Chains A and B, each alone.
Chain A
Amino acid sequence: MRALYWNGVNDLRVGTVKDPEIVNPHDAILRVSLSTTCGSDLHFIDGYIPTMKPGDVIGHEFMGVIEEVGPEVKTVKRGDRVVVPSFIVCGQCWYCQQHLYSLCDNTHPKPELQAPLFGGHATAGIYGYTHAFGGYAGAHAQYVRIPFADNDCFKVPDGVTDETALFLSDAAPTGYMGADFCDIKPGDTVAVWGCGGVGLMAQQSARLMGAERVIAIDRFPERLRMAREHAGSETIDYTQVHSVLEALKEMTGGRGPDSCIDAVGMEAHGTGAQYAYDRVKQALHLETDRGQALREAVMACRKGGTLSVLGVYGLIDKFPMGAIMNKGMTVRSAQQHGQAYMDRLLTHAQKGELNPAYLATHRFSLEDAPRGYDMFKHKTDGCVRAVFAP
């Protein structure tokens, strides 16, 4: 089959690889209909996070049609049109029973590569996202193997298009979870740093959960426009204001947002001395992350408010723990527990309350995927997400 693979830092290629096969009894093989880029892919494409091997098939946000199922697959069958969350989960372990799916104990084949970073603990495995996260082949390909298909494949109802279902794989459940973390009450203002796919989904989700106001922070005019038009957000272009903190404080009557969602992560851009400091340290590999958005979110949040971290981080320094402690804040974070939210998300999509298809600003054949990633990385031509059809 044809597949997009990582050949080295900033070197993506399309080539012919063997087809996936049923290996374990709960596996299924999915014929991929659509897959999409994710900002977190840029972390290993750019070489900021290790444990990629040349030849790894990448991609973790996708949907398609079931082609074949293993002997122990009960509910999913050939021909089903399904969306698959990025994290592979067993559905049996204690974490799965608590609906903390991305913490599943039983789907990481190489925990020794990850556990040392996390105090001896390992997450669930992900498709196409470094060997530290399991080393599974990814979904920018014609076919992909889905372990534990009964837990991880969700049938897409009629009336929900492929393009909408695609983003229920990762961007939508991540954003939805981020809003869920905020425990939104009537009258709440939610501020969201980042207007990429996850940030826009978090904004829409906060609205669906009853936020009175949503304020979006970014610097790209077309993304800020999407935030206004699709999520009903007020927007701050951080390059156009003296201080995001002051702007947020004024907009909230001096209180600060009730909840702050970081949908940016380790490659945050910013302005001023703090940003310059982070760029230098990151370039020297003294810290892996540029953390301006996260620090700003902590400082902006009202007393007793919630910080919801969706951005992906490695190591960060100058983290304002004192502000979190003294302001009595709640910090919530996770990789997406998509399986916990999928039924709700599909219902929202079916009712037209959540329509993430507008994120698909640019569409490519799989053969053109390297160009798609390049446009996505550089945000060329207002690219929010590049979508690939094998």
Chain B
Amino acid sequence: MPVGTIARQRGASFRHSRQLRTPQSAGAMQAPGWLPAALGTAAIMAGLGMRRKGTVALALTAFASVAAIGALRGVTPDQERADGGGASAASEPEVERSITIGKTADELRQRWLDPGTLPQIMAAFATVQAIGDGRTHWTLPGPLGRRYEWEAETIDDRAGDRVGWCSLPHAIIPNEGWIRFRPAPADRGTVMSLRLNFDPPGGAVGDAAVALFGTTPIGLAADWALRRFKSLVETGEIPTTERQPAARADTR
């Protein structure tokens, strides 16, 4: 996809975007283990989808997997009716989160596009591989030994000062997003914003997942990715408690 096409091709969905309802309270954020729960949800949704549609390729970025339930929960039937019942616009939640990083926009863009970066940021829950042509291949381990795989496409939109991505066609949960850079005041570096945008499936699949897991904060997923990226670019590493001593099986 040529540079600069993201806004045109996906313009319709951006145009319909509304202020995201973020019903998630601080209480939801305090629940430890929200990420695994969200991933489990994504895996189950994927499993349901696969049973229904056979071996349809699951196009789902890690962001989407975390955020999908928040997305589903962000839309009430009333709101869908008010929006004319058009599933695409009504069920399209977005979230935007920002972080300030002590580096220039060029440094951040370069690091984000580095094939080694996404695998490090996502290492805790997905395996990401750069497969050329600006595409990434994602593998998410699911329940009962299942593996879910998909591909996403990166779009470096230099004119719009953004780096975007979108799921490839036939995605069960079409999704897209971008990061954007703006200068921070004085010596504070660069404000990097991350926007996530979803087209959740709704219907039986979504309802089942919601019934199983409830609300998961989409904004937290964005915060989490941004913080890991900031640490990586500012210090060269991501803080971790992996492989540390503790008197239990999972020592993290």
Residues of B within 8 A of A232 (CB): none
Q: Is B19 on the interface with A (CB-CB < 8 A)?
A: no
Whether B189 pairs with A20 at a CB distance below 8 angstroms is no
Instruction: Tell me which of B75-83, B164-172, B240-248 binds A.
Output: B240-248
- CB <8 Å contact, B240 and A23: yes
Pick the residue among B189, B235, B241, B246 that contacts A26 (CB under 8 A).
Answer: B235
Structural contact, B246 and A56, CB atoms closer than 8 A:
yes
Contact digits for A111-151, partner B, Cβ 8 Å, 1 yes 0 no = 11101110000000100000100111100010101011000
Determine if B235 and A94 form an interchain contact, defined as CB atoms under 8 angstroms apart.
no
A134-B242 Cα distance, complex, nearest whole Å? 12
Please indicate which of the listed interface residues A93, A106, A111, A134 has the most CB atoms of chain B within 10 Å of its own CB.
Answer: A106
Residue A250 is within 8 A (CB to CB) of chain B in the complex: no
Query: What CA separation (Å) do A213 and B242 show in the bound complex?
Result: 49
Interface residue? B224 (CB, 8 A): yes
In the assembled complex, which residues on chain A have CB atoms less than 8 Å from the CB atom of B247?
3, 5, 7, 13, 15, 17, 54-55, 57
Query: What string of 1s and 0s marks CB contacts (under 8 Å) between B229-252 and chain A?
Result: 011001111111111111110011
CB-contact partner of B245 in A18, A106, A134, under 8 A: A18
Q: How far is the CB of A29 from chain B (nearest CB, A)?
A: 11
How many residues does chain B have at the interface if contact means C-beta atoms less than 8 Å apart?
A: 34
- Give Cα distance in the complex from A209 to B229, angstroms: 42
B188 within 8 A of A: yes
Cβ A135 vs Cβ B236 within 8 A:
no
Within A372-390, the residues touching B (CB, 8 Å) are none
**Contact status B236-A26, CB under 8 Å:** yes
Decide: A54 near B248, CB < 8 A? Known: A23-B240, A90-B235, A106-B230. Answer: yes
Minimum CB–CB distance for B221 against chain A, Å: 10
Contact status B243-A93, CB under 8 Å: no
Q: How far is the CA of A21 from the CA of B248 in the complex (A)?
A: 17
CA distance A53 to B246 in the complex (A): 9
Q: How far is the CA of A168 from the CA of B3 in the complex (A)?
A: 55
Q: How far is the CB of A65 from chain B (nearest CB, A)?
A: 18
Distance to closest chain A CB from B123 (angstroms):
12
The docked-state distance in angstroms from the alpha carbon of A1 to that of B246 is: 11
Complex: A125 Cα to B248 Cα, angstroms: 21
Nearest CB in chain B: distance from A184 CB, A = 31
* Complex: chain B residue closest to A115, CB-CB: B29
Please tell me if B30 contacts chain A, counting CB pairs below 8 Å: yes
**Of B224, B231, B245, the contact of A141 (CB 8 Å cutoff):** B245
Residues of chain B within 8 A (CB-CB) of A109 are 238-241
Q: Does A330 contact B (CB under 8 A)?
A: no
Beyond A109-B238, A137-B245, A145-B244, 20 additional pairs, beta carbon < 8 A? A5-B246, A7-B247, A17-B245, A17-B251, A18-B245, A20-B245, A24-B239, A53-B248, A54-B247, A55-B246, A55-B247, A92-B234, A93-B102, A93-B234, A105-B231, A115-B223, A135-B252, A136-B244, A141-B245, A147-B237
Task: Give 5 closest A-B pairs by Cβ, nearest first.
Answer: A55-B248, A55-B247, A17-B245, A116-B26, A24-B237
**CB-defined A-B contacts under 8 Å, sample of 26:** A3-B245, A5-B246, A20-B244, A24-B237, A25-B236, A25-B237, A26-B235, A51-B32, A55-B251, A90-B231, A90-B235, A97-B102, A105-B230, A105-B234, A106-B231, A106-B239, A111-B223, A112-B34, A112-B220, A115-B29, A135-B241, A136-B241, A136-B244, A137-B246, A137-B251, A143-B245
